[in-house]
Structure 1
Amino acid sequence: MRVFVTGGAGFIGSHYVRELLADRLPGTVGARVTVLDKLTYAGNLANLPDGHPRLAFVHGDICDGELLRELLPGHDLVVHFAAESHVDRSLDSAAAFMTTNVMGTHALLDACRATGVHRVLHVSTDEVYGSVPHGSSTERDLLEPNSPYAASKAASDLVARAHWRSHGLEISLTRCSNNYGPYQFVEKLIPLFITNLLDGKDVPLYGDGHHVREWLHVDDHCRALHLVAVGGRAGETYNIGGGTELTNAELTERLLKLCGAGAERVRQVPDRKAHDERYSVDISKITGELGWEPRVPFPDGLADVVDWYREHRGWWEPLVKDRAEQAAGR
């Protein structure tokens, strides 16, 4: 089996690649993996196993149709992670999100059609549903994105659907809740707060922290992705959620305790523009059709992640330094 993974040096993509190469996903023993990644701020070669004989890494842009047509022939499955994904960055400048997430998805699927690679898994987000005041979003709910990031992902979902309907590509989509785990880039909430606390810094909490998010361990997410990749129906969307809903304030309290810090380390900052109040997804479809359920209990998973960042300063300290230098304009 040959698997083509876009954005495979990022957080979730690299975890999926490591699982493939470790033969931990059903039906993929001995699979060969090609990773295409532009290595922007969130892509990191240190996320991937060094020198693995079944891994080929290509430094390139998902929007490069000519490169895609060179690389894709002979692959059995495409798993599409490549995306700009940080909401705050999209609020400051949305152009890169529209280019990578929308035009990049089009370029990839157009190249798949041209090279005869039919099976594609398109990885999306629950943010396309917008804020959910009560209940949980189902796959048939309207898409009501509120940030430029979410709008670009919603558009990419529709691009994927159109390629399935118009051209017959065997495309399945997934929409996941907030992920956490090792190797997550230091701008995201959990690694940002952990690394700040481990360095003796304050943590910036938006407003009063009442916004609710549903948390999913990256292990559980990648198991679900693979089930959809090999068993999901073409043209269908599958929600993937962890089932643990917490306000950002509640999550902060847990991180403070795990890092041995007090409440005085919390610094309230002005709320984000158009900040969605709550996300929650209904997972009955993937559970009923493919038998998936989350396995990692959130308290255990969160404690393990804190320990991972505590033990892997050599991985995240250069990223924190680079981020600080970029913020200072150097």
Structure 2
Amino acid sequence: MTLHVRLGVPSARTVLVTGGAGFIGSALVRRLVALGRRVVTLDKLTYAAAPAALAAVAGKANYRFVQGDIADRRLVAELLASEGVDTIVHLAAESHVDRSIDGPGAFVETNIVGTYELLQAARGHWEALDGAARSGFRFHHVSTDEVFGDLDLDAGKFTESSAYRPSSPYSASKAASDHLVRAWHHTYGLPVVVTNCTNNYGPFQAPEKLIPLTILKALRGETLPVYGTGANIRDWLHVDDHAAALQAVFERGRVGETYAIGAREEHSNVAMVARICDLLDERLPGRRPRRDLIRFVEDRPGHDRRYAIDPAKIECELGWAPAVGFAEGLASTVDWYIEHGDRWAAQDWSLERIGRV
């Protein structure tokens, strides 16, 4: 494989990570701080935030946390100026499909209106810069493969040129935010990069998501209700690999380009749940196999059958590839929740909000 890595592009000096107390955001923050980058986290600290995921960086000289809303343009503008931010990585978002079905308004407000306000603050900040500071500024918008909609089981994979066909209020709101970011680039010249990533897994993930929810419910001996037949397929990427990909894109990616991020690890939901049950049985044997806890229930509305990403572009241009093997990553994730799960769930989340996987 030929690598087309851009040389001579200065590394980000001060990175503002919106949604930095979330699952993916906190993984990126931990990585950047450990590498010596100066990082500012802006997070509203809603139900989806997990401050415990940032404990490892609290008090570091190159790290600052600010509680606030991306829709507060004045706050963001003041933060960008006072901190001398030259890179924004925009991860703040409402992101759970089931919640978007129950309450789409919050997704419109955060993912669309919030992104608009953030773009306007970023544009004002960038336009006030000059020279190397202006040319080196980046706005990195982090999105999802769900904006591309339902992928046929016998079709290929999503790429950067796939058509947008969002199926849920969540994916529609993310698609809208993607379009806003690209419009601010084409109309105003704001130097942006966009990434669309597949499903993530790893430590510190909200227990309403499939993998941690399955682990914690199975540990408690609770029923594991699986939507439909469980045949829906997702491509799974470890969150630390996603964080590495994000850094590669905002530091070396081409302005105005989109990069699709995936691991080529497709697994059906029911296969994932069964695999987790088996890993738990190996570690903590019970009186009966935990697979017996699986129950198939009525499917949710508009449930996409398959997502899968072709990451060839980011592999070729930026030299990125997943470093965490799926078997290794899933096993270590199960081990993390065995060790931390009860405290994690009790302090930050409720398993009662979403009971199906």
Q: Secondary structure at the match of 2:192?
A: strand
2:292 corresponds to which letter in structure 1? E
C-alpha distance in structure 2 between counterparts of 1:306 and 1:35, whole Å: 28
Structure 1 stretches (4+) deviating beyond 3 angstroms? 319-324
Structure 1: runs of 5+ lacking an equivalent: 24-29
In 1, are the aligned partners of 2:223 and 2:294 still within 8 Å (CA)?
yes
* TM-score (normalised: structure 1): 0.94
Q: Which has the higher contact order (CA 8 A, sep 6+)?
A: 2
> Residues 27-38 of structure 1 correspond to what in structure 2 (within 5 A)?
30-38=36-44
User: Residue 312 of structure 2 aligns with which residue?
Assistant: 284
1:128 is paired with a residue of what secondary structure? helix
Q: State the distance in 2 between where 1:12 and 1:181 align.
A: 9
- Give the conservation status (yes or no) of the 8 Å contact 2:47–2:349: no
Q: CA deviation digits over 1:167-212, x for unaligned, max 9? A: 1111000000000000000110000001111122121211110111
Gaps of 5+ in 2: 1-12, 127-135, 282-288
**Counterpart-to-counterpart distance in 2, 1:200 and 1:54:** 43
TM-score normalized with structure 2 length: 0.87
1:125-180 Cα shifts (integer Å, max 9, x gaps): 00000011110011111100000000000000000001111111110000000000
Note closer, same or farther for the CA distance 1:237–1:227 as it changes in structure 2 (3 Å cut). same
Q: Is contact 1:227-1:290 (8 Å) kept?
A: yes
1:52 Cα shift? 2.2
Please say if 1:132 is aligned against 2:159: no
Q: 1:51 deviation in Å?
A: 2.1
Selected match of 1:299 from 327, 336, 343 = 327
- What is the distance in 1 between the residues matched to 2:180 and 2:347? 33
Which residue of structure 2 lines up, in the alignment, with residue 17 of structure 1? 29
Tell me if the contact between 1:125 and 1:153 (Cα under 8 Å) persists in the aligned partners: yes
1:72-221 matches, within 5 Å, as 72-73=80-81, 74-116=84-126, 118-133=137-152, 134-221=155-242
Partner-residue secondary structure (3-state), 1:311: helix
Match of 2:71, SS state, is: coil
1:268 and 2:296 are equivalent in the alignment: yes
Q: 1:211 touches 1:248 (CA, 8 Å); kept in 2? A: yes
SS in 2 for 1:197: helix
Question: In 1, distance between residues paired with 2:176 and 2:345?
Answer: 35
Counterpart amino acid of 1:54?
N
Counterparts of residues 300-315 of structure 1 (less than 5 Å): 300-313=328-341, 315=343
TM-superposed CA distance for 1:32, in Å, is 1.5
Which has the larger Rg? 2
Q: CA deviation at 1:53?
A: 2.3
> Partner letter of residue 39 of structure 1?
L
Hey, what's the Cα distance between the residues in 2 that align with 1:229 and 1:315?
A: 35
Kept after mapping to 2: 8 A contact 1:186/1:319:
no
Distance 2:107 2:151 in 1: 23
Two-structure CA RMSD over aligned residues (Å): 1.6
1:5 aligns with 2:24: no
% identity of equivalent residues: 50
Letter in 1 for 2:97: V
CA deviation profile, 1:58-106 (whole Å, cap 9, x unmatched): 1111111111111012111110000000000000110010110011111
| 2:53 alignment counterpart | 47
Aligned partner of 1:259 among 280, 305, 309: 280
- How many positions carry a matched residue from both structures? 321
